[in-house]
């Protein structure tokens, strides 16, 4: 049985409590007190990603009220295809493959974590007396996160979701995807920018009187319930290669980056890990200078990675006791600007008909750049493909000169009725929607 503690020393805390909160009471992030270690053989014969997730996560669930439900929870979160697709090999003979994480209901990798967390919370609430209050999940989004969370919690018992998004600042398709769910999901267009949405959510969480009346929960990417299942898909890809594989992880808040690192620590057979950012260079600058400097984010084509101060950096540093030399030995980082993202999308399409979303393109470009260097390790490289290119059609289509058909699950969402309300950016306007 594994307990959890905060990166800032607080704890221990049990799994149920950890899944229901974002940050720990001392302001840190929850981490397992130790990572479970497996022999590769113990994991390698898992028949499905769901079964692998169940094996890898069992130590963290042992002794909790969710232990018996873990197989069902994993099946719920991993119930769609997780294919590996070949890219053209690199000049040095290295084999490149995409791990397609975008076959879920909202066509981005965040579906995995959101669905896993939703399945956990629904079961925790079901154990409570019938009179216990409904949980209201409040989430601010600039796009992908909100849709994945809305989809994952839609129709679940005893849970409501309120999604805040900046009015007129997300694409019409994204807006549609936030408002097309069951009655327990309310989308709110806030008059303001994304920062106003985030400030509003923070104000609500900090308001003691409100929190006495309304049971508020969060589902943002620092929640451990989103991170843990993400380790399983990295491991799944590594176990498909007899010798294991190196990984390229396009990253913003470092959620996928930490999940990949944990999969390696747990024994999945992952070699090098190359974290790829867009022009927001905080991680790379930290690794080269040894001094961490969070900053304002800048807008790029890979906008789901527009993060200047990655929240999971605290988990990465904690894992290596803040020793930057040990972090450098564990991961490397590359930054890919918009010009390179554009060129990479064009190039992969003209070379091999591969259509990449801007985030995935950053990863592929970093990988090919690394392998072009003399002495780079050949072998197997897997690049996490974080979203379906049709979600970023306004970027991708002009570059490749053709349309990208949305996958069936997105088509289906677009055919549904979608609605939202509008509010000014103040707490008094938000409160009535929180229940
Ligand atoms: C959220 C997101 C990312 C970044 O993921 P992190 O876990 O924050 O590193 C990358 N690509 C897409 C498409 C995303 O939605």
Average pLDDT for residues 171-176, to the nearest whole number?
Answer: 88
Other Cβ atoms less than 10 A from the Cβ of 1: the count is 11
The fraction of the chain above a pLDDT of 90, given in percent, is 86
Q: How far is the CA of 119 from the centre of ligand 1 (A)?
A: 21
Q: For ligand 1, is residue 306 a contact (CB within 6 Å)?
A: no
**Contacts for 371 with CB less than 8 Å, ≥ 6 apart:** 90, 91, 92, 94, 378, 381
Q: How far is the CA of 259 from the centre of ligand 1 (A)?
A: 12
Q: For ligand 1, is residue 66 a contact (CB within 6 Å)?
A: no
Quick one: which atom of ligand 1 is closest to the CA of 357? 13
pLDDT confidence bin for 374, thresholds 50/70/90:
low
Q: pLDDT for 5-33, tens place per residue?
A: 999 999 899 999 999 887 888 989 999 99
- Rounded distance between C-alpha atoms, residue 226 and residue 111, angstroms: 9
Q: For ligand 1, is residue 389 a contact (CB within 6 Å)?
A: no
pLDDT of residue 151: 97
Instruction: Give the H or E element holding residue 381.
Output: strand 380-385
pLDDT of residue 169: 85
**Is the confidence at residue 377, as pLDDT, over 80?**
no
Question: Minimal CA–CA distance to 318: which of 220, 217, 224?
Answer: 224
The values of phi and psi at residue 360, to 5°, are -65, -40
Task: Give the closest residue (by CA) to ligand 1 atom 7.
Answer: 255
Q: Report the largest interatomic distance among the alpha carbons of the chain, rounded to a whole angstrom.
A: 66
Average pLDDT for residues 323-347, to the nearest whole number?
Answer: 98
Q: In a mutational test of the pocket of ligand 1, which residue from 276, 308, 386 has the highest number of ligand atoms less than 8 Å from its CB? A: 386
Q: pLDDT for 314-333, tens place per residue?
A: 999 999 999 999 999 999 99
Q: For ligand 1, is residue 144 a contact (CB within 6 Å)?
A: yes
Beta bridge partners of residue 276, listed in sequence order: 250, 334
Residue found by looking up tokens 């232990």 in the block: 67
**Is the CB of residue 175 less than 8 Å from the CB of residue 181?**
no
Q: For ligand 1, is residue 384 a contact (CB within 6 Å)?
A: no
Question: Minimal CA–CA distance to 270: which of 243, 300, 291, 308?
Answer: 243
Q: For ligand 1, is residue 174 a contact (CB within 6 Å)?
A: no
Q: For ligand 1, is residue 255 a contact (CB within 6 Å)?
A: yes
Quick one: which atom of ligand 1 is closest to the CA of 249? 9
**Is the CB of residue 66 less than 8 Å from the CB of residue 123?**
yes
**Is the CB of residue 299 less than 8 Å from the CB of residue 142?**
no
Q: For ligand 1, is residue 359 a contact (CB within 6 Å)?
A: yes
**Is the CB of residue 264 less than 8 Å from the CB of residue 272?**
no
Quick one: which atom of ligand 1 is closest to the CA of 256? 7
């Amino acid at each position: 049985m594994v307990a959890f503690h905060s990166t800032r020393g607080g704890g221990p805390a049990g799994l149920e409590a950890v899944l229901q909160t974002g940050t720990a009471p001392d302001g840190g992030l929850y981490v397992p007190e130790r990572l479970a270690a497996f022999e590769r053989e113990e994991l390698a014969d898992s028949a499905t990603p769901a079964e692998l997730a169940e094996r890898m996560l069992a130590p963290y669930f042992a002794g909790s009220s969710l232990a018996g439900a873990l197989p069902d929870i994993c099946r719920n979160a991993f119930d769609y295809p997780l294919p590996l697709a070949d890219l053209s090999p690199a000049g040095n003979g290295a084999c490149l493959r995409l791990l397609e994480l975008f076959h879920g209901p909202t066509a981005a990798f965040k579906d995995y974590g959101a669905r896993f967390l939703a399945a956990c919370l629904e079961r925790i609430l079901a154990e409570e007396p019938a009179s216990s209050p409904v949980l209201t999940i409040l989430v601010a989004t600039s796009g992908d996160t909100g849709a994945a969370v809305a989809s994952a919690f839609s129709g679940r018992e005893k849970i409501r979701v309120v999604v805040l998004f900046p009015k007129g600042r997300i694409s019409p398709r994204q807006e549609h995807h936030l408002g097309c769910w069951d009655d327990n999901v309310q989308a709110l267009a806030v008059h303001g920018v994304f920062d106003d949405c985030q400030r509003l959510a923070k104000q609500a969480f900090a308001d003691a009187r409100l929190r006495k009346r309304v049971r508020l929960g969060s589902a943002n990417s620092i929640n451990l319930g989103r991170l843990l299942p993400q380790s399983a898909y990295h491991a799944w890809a590594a176990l498909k290669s007899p010798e294991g594989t190196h990984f390229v992880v396009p990253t913003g808040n470092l959620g996928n980056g930490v999940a990949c690192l944990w999969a390696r620590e747990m024994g999945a057979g992952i070699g090098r890990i190359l974290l790829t950012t867009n022009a927001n260079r905080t991680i790379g600058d930290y690794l080269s200078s040894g001094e961490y400097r969070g900053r304002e984010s800048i807008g790029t084509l890979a906008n789901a990675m527009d993060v200047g101060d990655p929240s999971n950096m605290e988990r990465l540093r904690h894992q290596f006791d803040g020793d930057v030399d040990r972090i450098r030995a564990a991961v490397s980082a590359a930054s890919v600007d918009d010009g390179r993202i554009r060129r990479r999308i064009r190039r992969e399409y003209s070379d091999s008909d591969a259509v990449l979303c801007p985030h995935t393109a950053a990863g592929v470009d970093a990988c090919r750049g690394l392998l072009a260097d003399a002495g780079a390790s050949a072998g197997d490289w897997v690049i996490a493909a974080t979203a379906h290119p049709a979600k970023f059609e306004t970027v991708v289509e002009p570059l490749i000169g053709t349309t990208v058909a949305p996958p069936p699950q997105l088509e289906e969402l677009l055919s549904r009725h979608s609605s939202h309300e509008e509010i000014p950016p103040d707490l008094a306007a938000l409160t009535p929607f929180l229940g």
